[in-house]
Amino acid sequence: MKLEIGRIYIKDIQLGKETSVIDGVLTVDKQGLIDNLKEDGRIKDILIDVARPGEKVRIIPVKDVIEPRVKIQGGNNGFPGVTSKQAQCGEGRTHVLYGAAVVTVGDIVGFQEGVVDMWGEGAKWTPFSKTYNLTVDIQVVAGLDPHTHEETVRIAGLRASEFIGLAGENVTPDEVLTFEIGSMFEETTKYPDLPKVIYAEMNITQGLLHDTYIYGVNQSGILPALLHANEEIDNAVISGNCVAACDKITTYQHQNNSVIYDLYAQHGKEINFLGVIMVPEHTTLAGKVRASDYTVKLAKMLGADGVVVSEEGYGNPDSDLLMICKKCERNGIKTVLITDECAGRDGLSQPLSDTAVEAVAVISGGNVSHVVTLLPADKVIGNAAAIAVLSGGWEGSLLEDGSMMCELNAVIGATSEIGFHNVTCRLY
């Protein structure tokens, strides 16, 4: 498969009466977007706004983040199997409005949504303080059940990104990235001496608004699936979960999966990158055993020498992570784990809920329990009081002067387990 991603650098977003990109400025037809989204009769009202890097703006509660894109060649525009007819992702050419993001906001459905600060202490912890954000604050009609409410908001965000992404259809990209990997036989013939590496990406699929979708199929109902690396970064995978904001993989992060980008960068140089196994995270022991067994079986069938495993969430998914690690290592497959830690506010508690002697190469994205104080905002998009019911917040988190005290749990992307965040580490 060969995929070209043309990046059109966005330097600002303005609201206007047409949707276009001129000299790096994205103008969005505000009323046109509202009218488009309100074609869904489940939506009662929509507020559109803009949040720019450095502005004293707080966005809360954030539900998802999506990168605006348009398909130029190959496949279908949008998100096949969800907002458009089924088509193969990962081939052809896609233009992205690089530096822009659609951020959906709305009433709490599950308690685990998040916050993005565009400045100050909060901005240090979220990657979305650096994007130009078009916020879509969605109010649904009364009486929707929680799952329908979540679906309505999720689909609205995807449709908004499509509406805006069309502005890049006839724009010459500032940069074109090419991602090309042939069949495993072709790549192994080209690189016979390089270690074969697979990426096993664990995704929340635990129901109760904790879901991930591949081509519109809820991953909870399928076995671990092998994807070409190009598929995920070309709109095949979307977030549909309300897992703790700090390590939730938003749709934007699926579209720009940093593990895939890093493995691609080493393909043909230090490794032979075979592809991605999408691993569902279940709540039952039987489900965890089945998914881990199947993941290792696929890795063995592919002849993998090494596996990079990333987690989503923490707590019971730690067991899935360690199961995969133990089974891979015992089958002679070297394993690197990417996780985060729930180590208590002092950082001294056991960081994972499970452990294994085979887990000797573990990368941490940070401690979800770390407490931060976010300064008062000049402007709040959404509802600041929502912090009281976010994972990582509590009654009293919102202080009288408008500042917030919360755990990193509440900050979107703060401890990303695919490395898509601002945290660095230091070796001593």
Kindly indicate the confidence band of residue 428, based on its pLDDT and cuts at 50, 70 and 90. Answer: very low
**Burial of 36 by CB count in 10 Å (0-12 exposed, 13-18 middle, 19+ buried)?**
middle
**pLDDT per residue over 12-29, tens digit each?**
999 999 999 999 999 999
Q: Is residue 26 part of a domain?
A: yes
Q: What is the pLDDT of the chain when averaged over all its residues?
A: 93
Between 20 and 241, where is the model more confident? 20
The average pLDDT across 103-128 equals 88
Q: Which of 89, 242, 328, 406 is catalytic?
A: 242
Q: Are 180 and 166 in contact (CB under 8 A)?
A: no
**Interstrand relation of 272-281 and 225-227 (parallel, antiparallel or unpaired):** antiparallel
Tokens standing for 292? Answer: 């881990």
Decide if pLDDT at 406 tops 50. yes
State the residue range of the domain holding 264.
Answer: 2-410
Q: What is the pTM of this model?
A: 0.95
pLDDT score, position 425: 54
| Total domain count, the chain | 1
pLDDT score, position 111: 60
Length, in residues, of the chain: 428
Q: Is residue 138 part of a domain?
A: yes
Q: Is residue 416 part of a domain?
A: no
Longest dimension (CA), the chain: 65
Q: Is residue 72 part of a domain?
A: yes
Between 214 and 75, where is the model more confident? 214
Q: Is residue 417 part of a domain?
A: no
Q: Is residue 247 part of a domain?
A: yes
Q: Is residue 420 part of a domain?
A: no
pLDDT score, position 110: 64
The average pLDDT across 340-352 equals 84
pLDDT score, position 427: 52
Active site residue 89: no
Residues 6 or more apart whose CB falls under 8 angstroms from that of 213 comprise 81, 82, 219, 237, 238, 239, 240
Q: Is residue 419 part of a domain?
A: no
